[in-house]
Amino acid sequence: MVIIEGLLPPSRENWETVCYIWQFFPVITAFQWVLDWYPQGKTSTNFSLNIPGKIGWATMESAGFITLIYIMLSLPRELGINELPWGNWTMAGCFVIHYFYRAVVSPLFLNPSMSPIHPFVWVLAFLFQMFNAISLGGWLAGYGPTTVHEWGGRFWSMEIGLVIWAWGLLGNMFHDDDLREIRRAADRKQRKEAERTGKPLDGVDKVYMLPKNGLFQYALYAHYLCEWIEWAGFWMVGGWNCTPARTFLVNEITTMLPRALQGKRWYEKKFGKEKVGNRKAIIPGLL
């Protein structure tokens, strides 16, 4: 079923245009290098039109994997392709697993609380998801490899890429959970205190501490680093000529790196430079 003629699913010409424009996303995120204004998470603001954190994350991040599934199911039929090779489905599966965790499981079931999101950040994240899903979806569903033969001879690099992807995902989940544990522990402490004193619970919104476990000992945004590793592995699965996977990784790095550097400044201001010590923002020992 066609949703938007020529775009969902994309015609070849429109897909190429989307892929071309998508490479310039780092120009849009350049504002992050010069402005400290980023109204989300730690640096969220009290804006009246803010979107509640959990709903915001679930809606903006679901757009990508739902669109990718839709393109995988609709485009091959439009192009007269009977069956896509398993390599295409493997990459689509990796993408869906990650974003099902990020958009559904994490905000709606695991995270104790999430700060509100400014609509501007929501729109940027939604556009990120849509451009990325069309770019990757088009490549995976008909404009990239369409026969097993085209994946041939790359078995080892695909295997290694998949292993890197899986370790990156596990590392990302592990460090995400370490952040959750800070709020779960605060909640447990508050409940004990409430039982003892009869005082009402304060809630754990905006409770922050310095994370200490795993790679957090060396870098304050270790979960970001793991996500980069994950998508570098994904690119390796697709092959170095898989431009959509490369653009995805580059665009993630160019938006997350300034955010992590800003986050390090935020930690230093909140907890003091001595407490942060020689921990880096994102790459242990380096950056």
Judged by the rule CB under 6 A, the positions of this chain that interact with ligand NAP are 41-42, 53, 102, 111, 113-115, 172, 176, 179, 182-183, 206, 208-209, 211, 223-224, 227, 252, 255-256, 259
Distances (CA, A) of 272 to 37, 90, 179, 198: 21, 45, 19, 34
SS3 assignment, position 10 = strand
Q: What is the nearest approach in angstroms of ligand NAP to the Cβ of residue 150?
A: 30
Residue 285 near residue 217 (C-beta atoms within 8 A): no
Query: Whose CB is nearest to ligand NAP?
Result: 115
Closer residue to ligand NAP in complex, CB, 247/252:
252
What's the chain's length in residues?
287
Q: What is the nearest approach in angstroms of ligand NAP to the Cβ of residue 265?
A: 13
Q: What is the nearest approach in angstroms of ligand NAP to the Cβ of residue 148?
A: 32
Residue 210 near residue 276 (C-beta atoms within 8 A): yes
Q: What is the nearest approach in angstroms of ligand NAP to the Cβ of residue 154?
A: 27
Residue 10 near residue 71 (C-beta atoms within 8 A): yes
Closer residue to ligand NAP in complex, CB, 51/114:
114
Closer residue to ligand NAP in complex, CB, 42/154:
42
Q: What is the nearest approach in angstroms of ligand NAP to the Cβ of residue 232?
A: 13
Take residue 182 and report the two structure tokens written for it.
């800070």
Distances (CA, A) of 60 to 2, 119, 141, 273: 22, 10, 23, 34
Closer residue to ligand NAP in complex, CB, 77/206:
206
- 10 Å CB burial of residue 214 (0-12, 13-18, 19+) is middle
Closer residue to ligand NAP in complex, CB, 67/255:
255
